Amino acid sequence: MRRLYKIMQNCFDIAVVANGRCRAIILRLRGAKIARKVSIGSGCRVDRPWCLRVGSRSLTENDVYIKIVKDDAVINIGEHVFIGRGTEFDIIEKLVVGEHTIIAPNCFITDHKHGMEPGLRIDQQPCRAKPVVLGSDVWIGTGVVILPGVAIGEGAVVGAGAVVTKDVPPFGVVAGVPARLMRLRDGKA
C-alpha cells in the first residue's frame, strides 16, 4: 500500500511540475522572457507580461500576483528564485530580485507610493516611484512589506512581518515595524 501511495505521489508531483512549466510557456507566448525550467503556480496573475524576465529554475507558488502598472516597467527575477504563495509585486518602474533569493508567502513589494500634496484629492495625486532591489541569496520572511526605494543587500535576512522602509546592508538581519538591524549574519552587530 505504501508503495502505491509513493507512486501516486510521484505522479502527482510530476503533474504539478508539468503544469507549472506549461503556465511558464503561456507567459512566454504572452511576451515574458522566461528561461528554461521555470515553474509558475496555479492562480498566478501577471499584468503586462512583456515587462517580466525570469531566470532559470525559478519557482512561483500558487496565487502570486505580479501587478505591472506601466508598459515600460521592468521586473527582473534571477535564477533559482522562490516566490511564495499569495505574494504580490506592485510595480510601476523597476524591481530586481537577485539569484538564489527566497520570498516567503504573503509578502508585498512595491516601488511606488501615492502623493499627499494639499489642494488635490487623493485620487488625483501622482505616484512617485523608486526602484526596489533585492540582492542575491536574500531571505524575505512571511508577510514582509517592502516599500519604494529599498535596496536589500546580498545575503540579508528580513524577519517575518517586517515593514522595510530603509536599505538593508549585505548580510544584515532585520526585523520589526519599521525594520531595524538586529545583527549581521557574521555574528557582529
User: Over the stretch 21-34, which tens digit does the pLDDT of each residue have?
Assistant: 888 888 888 999 99
User: Which segment of 16-20, 146-150, 179-183 scores lowest on mean pLDDT?
Assistant: 16-20
* Chain segment 83-138, per-residue pLDDT in tens: 999 999 999 999 999 999 999 999 999 999 988 888 888 888 888 999 999 999 99
* Chain segment 161-181, per-residue pLDDT in tens: 999 999 999 999 999 999 999
Asked if residue 73 is part of any domain, the answer here is: yes
Which residue reads 496565487 in cell numbers?
63
The single residue of 80, 100, 112, 114 carrying the catalytic annotation is 114
Alpha helices in the chain (DSSP H): 2-29
Mean pLDDT of the chain: 91
Q: Specify the number of domains making up the chain.
A: 1
Report the CATH number at residue 72.
Answer: 2.160.10.10
Asked if residue 189 is part of any domain, the answer here is: no
Q: Check residue 126 and report its DSSP letter.
A: P
Name the E strands within 57-156. 59-60, 65-68, 74-77, 82-83, 88-91, 94-97, 102-103, 108-110, 112-114, 127-129, 132-134, 139-140, 145-146, 151-152
Question: Strand order in 180-184's β-sheet?
Answer: 39-40, 59-60, 82-83, 102-103, 139-140, 157-158, 172-175, 180-184
Angstrom distance (rounded) from CA 142 to CA 161: 6
**Higher pLDDT among residues 14 and 46, named by residue:** 46
Asked if residue 21 is part of any domain, the answer here is: yes
**CB under 8 Å to 178, separation ≥6 — which residues?**
162, 163, 164, 165, 166
Range of the domain at 15: 2-184
Asked if residue 23 is part of any domain, the answer here is: yes
Tell me if residue 114 is catalytic: yes
pLDDT range class, residue 154, cuts 50, 70, 90: very high
Asked if residue 108 is part of any domain, the answer here is: yes
Angstrom distance (rounded) from CA 44 to CA 32: 14
Which residue reads 505522479 in cell numbers?
11
Asked if residue 174 is part of any domain, the answer here is: yes
The pTM score is 0.88
pLDDT range class, residue 78, cuts 50, 70, 90: very high
φ, ψ (nearest 5 deg) of residue 7: -65, -45
- Please count the residues of the chain: 189
Asked if residue 39 is part of any domain, the answer here is: yes
